[in-house]
Chain A
């Protein structure tokens, strides 16, 4: 996984609440056995009409947001299905961070596994950043994971919380399966103990 570097990028506003993973990547695109190439289908039913033409009003179709790397979104982003295709599609499109007041649990975890930083901020902070994002491509936000801050294009800065372990893995681009396998002796010991206590499992 790539290391998560300090990010200065265009933020696209998506104020709709409850943007679900079916919207992020409709199920017709889940019939792949690969992780890559889903960016062209990101937000497919919101982004394209049935004939495959772009819907001009959709935010990521507007010229100033085509190169967006950050989304500022309404409450409860990523709710619904556990499909990791959602962060795969975001990542493939070029989105590296999503800012909202809240995220659905599984989506939130899936982001970290794919080098995407989901940032939870209070409503007032999201409101400021949403307004900033609405200014278009001249308004570049700065996401600084090391120092746990997001700054608007006008320099207004907000601190965010992130789990120390998740932060470490993202900053270093670590594969957590490798890390967990280093604990194999502890897993062996647990299995031995569990086989005594709950032999029916």
Chain B
């Protein structure tokens, strides 16, 4: 048998049928659902008189719209249209009998944080959701990707997707990361190197010592942004860290079932000599803490750099860079560390997990913020509770941060957490698109530590300068 990649193995294990032209019906093990991209799909089922084929494999949670302030269980405290979407999800979950974590449930949170936390996401699975950041679940060695609403309806009705196989891409991060450099810097540095379309048509497998060294939380951060590099999905082969994370979670297999699962999971790796259509290698020790300066996630530079000029680029990127620099209110040649920040946002499916909050709290502890507004939004109610148990909430609030309830919040600003015009934010989220965090808002993507550093100095700051201070 010819050697297979991890992607090949998961794919082959889920093909229901294959047509002569290579179009496959792919079985879906887990379908995650949220309130924004699902109402039309459920409506479609109703109109056609169809049922959810596998309600036991379908998990719903409201996250995009929900306010992150107290009293949100009362729909009166939501905008009318948000309340309608959340109520529609309540009703659809009930009518179709799917698993549901309502706003009032402590387990509620961002769908991509809830899935792994509850043990729904397991190695070797196929996982889809009407959300592009479904790539997050690839950290477990699950084939996970975002789909549109028509495909949500297709999965609800058939528990399958019509798919053609993508190509295999390997992204290897060799060696060790230097202190202050995190999973977020890796994933941004990769997009900086490959561009936002560099992964189009591929499924990426991340590997190498620096990836192996990451915790599960860090691996989720890396895979989360595979979509920002254009890839259909990102994958990391499961290992002892994965098994340990999964074991004992509410919906993970138990006892003999766990042992049986484990013996299959241990076969989920890329065989020696398997073919990759594209290979990108970065040296871990050369990655610096990075920030984005523009309005595309590929606009990445080390914090030590200056704002580029449009002439540094070629083709269509010249005009795009000019537009970005103007939109962001920056000057070419300006040092990134001279950029003043109004607001800091720590949270999202990219960086809203416990490890992210710990990293930020470590920088913040005992200090005060210099920005106008700083906000921590834990990724789930359980992350929030864990952080409170560790006293992190106190560290943040003492420093001047707001301590919020779980949700997508200012990552996409569908709830009241939004930037105002020209407000500049250091954000641990995943997209710096025009208007993403609020109309004419300006976003710089950074790691949690870098966000914390910016909050303390009021400027984009190399987190390492504050770390040495802590050490001294």
Contacts and interface: CB of A to CB of B under 8 A. Distances in A.
Interface in A97-113: 102-106, 109-110, 113
Given A22-B434, A27-B413, A45-B435, A15 B16 contact: no
A16 B316 contact: yes
A23 interface: yes
Interface string A39-52: 00000010000100
B157 interface: yes
Given A80-B132, A176-B154, A186 B16 contact: yes
Given A16-B320, A31-B85, A163-B21, A22 B16 contact: no
B122 A165 contact: no
B162 A176 contact: yes
A199 B157 CA distance: 22
B159 A187 contact: yes
Contact of A22 (B50, B196, B298, B433): B433
A35 B323 CA distance: 31
B258 to A, nearest CB: 7
A151 to B, nearest CB: 23
A81 interface: yes
Nearest to A31: B81
A114 B146 contact: no
A169 to B, nearest CB: 9
B274 interface: no
A145 B176 CA distance: 51
A131 to B, nearest CB: 14
B257 interface: yes
Interface in B295-343: 296, 298, 315-317, 319-320, 323
Q: How large is the interface on B (under 10, 10 to 19, 20 to 34, 35 or more residues)?
A: 35 or more
Contacts of B436: 22
Interface string A168-186: 0000000011001101101
B320 A30 contact: no
Interface string B283-304: 0000000000000101000000
A2 B25 CA distance: 24
Contact of B27 (A74, A84, A181, A194): A194
Contact of B21 (A30, A83, A104, A165): A165
A200 B253 contact: yes
Given A22-B436, A83-B37, A187-B158, A102 B148 contact: no
Nearest to B26: A190
Interface in B159-205: 159-160, 162, 164, 196-197, 200-201
Interface string B234-261: 0000000000000000000100011011
17 contacts: A23-B434, A27-B414, A31-B65, A31-B414, A33-B84, A33-B85, A45-B435, A82-B130, A82-B131, A82-B132, A106-B132, A106-B147, A113-B151, A165-B19, A186-B17, A187-B16, A201-B57
Interface of A: 15-18, 20, 22-23, 26-28, 30-35, 45, 50, 74-76, 79-84, 87, 102-106, 109-110, 113-114, 163-165, 176-177, 180-181, 183-184, 186-187, 190-191, 194, 197-201
